[in-house]
Amino acid sequence: MKARRFVVTLFLAMAFVGLALLPAYGTKAYAADEITFGIIGPMKFTYGSNIWMGAEMAAEKINAAGGIKVKGKSYKLVLYKTDDNDFISVPDAVSAMERLITVQKVKLIIGGVRSEAVLAQQEVAMDNKAIFLGAGSASNELNYRVAKDYNRYKYWFRIMPGASEDSGLQNISMTMPAIRALQKMGIKKPKVALLFDKATWTEPIIPLAKKLFPELGCEVVGVWQPGFNATSFSSELSAIKSAGAHIIFMLCAGAPGNVFSKQWGELQIPATLSGTNVEATLETHWKATDGKCNYIATGSGFADVPLTSQTKQFFADFKKKYKEGPNYLAGAGHDGVYILKEAIEKADSWEPDDLVPVLEKTNREGVTGHTVFTPIGTKRPHDLVWSTKGYTPVQMQWIDGKQYVTWPDGKELPPAIIAAGGSTGWDKKKLKGTVDYVLPPWVIEYWKDKK
């Protein structure tokens, strides 16, 4: 009996050692003919789940077409899903990145959403020389680091959204239709309230907005910064109304965006909305707010319009597969997988040091636009280039249960925005399906005799 137990124990021990000695192939392929990408984000929220779903769609297409080819051999692409809980906990996000790299041995990673967490995750990835394609964070610092210490941070690239520095200019540009509509009513100097997440990514935009709006003929009446996980905006909305704001320039990347839209609509605050409310980019926003989001305008990384030759097909395929529409992070997850796949095939290698110089030359059309990275020598290397021929975000407006694109509107950006770093050529950029921006009827009614 003892001899039998000894044999069984010895067999199990040998089996364990045998498994431990199985070869790992670069990004820890689970078999000799697999390559693994890590998809990381807050998977319990639409932000993380959309990155995953977009990446999953790309992987399925790549594998159906024969996988990834390296040195004459075809490899199946395997995605490793990692919930980092970054909306709730930075320590959780860091631990998730550490496990992904050190335990799962994955060194090709896409994702990360909340800037406070991604800044810390970036350090873990760079410690381990892992490629990290950022798909959600807008922090300038992530790319400033590449400029300051290229050899350490060269493995980081931002594929979505624009950096805070660019996002501020993009969102202010999208506010021009509202400014013009108010001025057409006779309100010569519209008053603007700034309502931003109290978060790392919004901090650089506050001084930018305070400077630019007056140059655009507006007056900034105050700054409000509710918490990233706020549960009510009633006090902020009351104060904004008292301040006489005609426009609320909002930057909200968190889940409270549903709460804000609903309260704004219920209270019929006499200030039109512009900027970005990420929740408002989702098709589910109408139902989540009981339709109180009517007339809200929001920036988005992309929409169901022909941004590129691939965009509308992606929307159709996504809706067919998941029974809902995507947000911009789904596009980022999808494009990120293809960016890595094509870089691996061009480099004929999946080793991070071989991929960096190839990724730096990225110039490809995806579902979210044309991806080109800023070069070494700029103040933010490896960042996304914003232009009419590069990354082109849009503004969408909810009107009676449907989302319509209202910007780019075929008008050139004002000189103040161009002088601050905005690109030119927007007078030649108007996407098929774009409609005119509409002021909320209650805003018109409230201000028509108070000019």
For position 348, which CATH number holds?
3.40.50.2300
What pLDDT, on the 0 to 100 scale, is given for residue 400? Answer: 96
What pLDDT, on the 0 to 100 scale, is given for residue 31? Answer: 62
**End of a domain among 342, 372, 402?**
372
Q: Are residues 175 and 282 in the same domain?
A: yes
Q: Is the pLDDT of residue 209 over 60?
A: yes
Q: Are residues 332 and 438 in the same domain?
A: no
Q: Is the pLDDT of residue 30 over 70?
A: no
Q: How many whole angstroms separate alpha carbon 326 and alpha carbon 408?
A: 20
Q: Per the domain annotation, does 289 fall within a domain? A: yes
Q: Per the domain annotation, does 64 fall within a domain? A: yes
Task: Report the alpha-carbon angle 99-103-108, nearest 5.
Answer: 75
- Could you tell me the CA-to-CA distances from 281 to 47, 52, 196, 404, 428 in Å, in that order? 11, 17, 17, 11, 25
| pLDDT band with cut points at 50, 70 and 90 for residue 230 | confident
Number of structural domains found in the chain: 2
Q: How many whole angstroms separate alpha carbon 181 and alpha carbon 330?
A: 32
Report the DSSP beta bridge partners of residue 192. 220, 247
**End of a domain among 372, 401, 420?**
372
What pLDDT, on the 0 to 100 scale, is given for residue 98? Answer: 98
Mean pLDDT, the chain, whole residue set:
90
Q: Are residues 151 and 293 in the same domain?
A: no
What pLDDT, on the 0 to 100 scale, is given for residue 26? Answer: 37
Domain extent at residue 202: 166-300+393-447
DSSP structural state of residue 188:
S
Q: Per the domain annotation, does 13 fall within a domain? A: no
Looking at the chain, the whole-number percentage of residues with pLDDT higher than 90 is 78
Looking at the chain, the whole-number percentage of residues with pLDDT higher than 70 is 92
Q: Are residues 154 and 171 in the same domain?
A: no
Q: Are residues 286 and 315 in the same domain?
A: no
Q: Is the pLDDT of residue 15 over 50?
A: no
| pLDDT band with cut points at 50, 70 and 90 for residue 196 | very high
Q: Per the domain annotation, does 12 fall within a domain? A: no
Q: Are residues 82 and 191 in the same domain?
A: no
- Could you tell me the CA-to-CA distances from 241 to 181, 186, 234, 451 in Å, in that order? 19, 19, 11, 15
What pLDDT, on the 0 to 100 scale, is given for residue 451? Answer: 62
Q: Are residues 281 and 427 in the same domain?
A: yes
Q: Per the domain annotation, does 385 fall within a domain? A: no
Q: Per the domain annotation, does 208 fall within a domain? A: yes
Of 84-88, 243-247, 272-276, 388-392, give the lowest mean pLDDT range. Answer: 388-392
What pLDDT, on the 0 to 100 scale, is given for residue 380? Answer: 96
Q: What is the pLDDT of residues 110-119, one digit of tens each?
A: 999 999 999 9
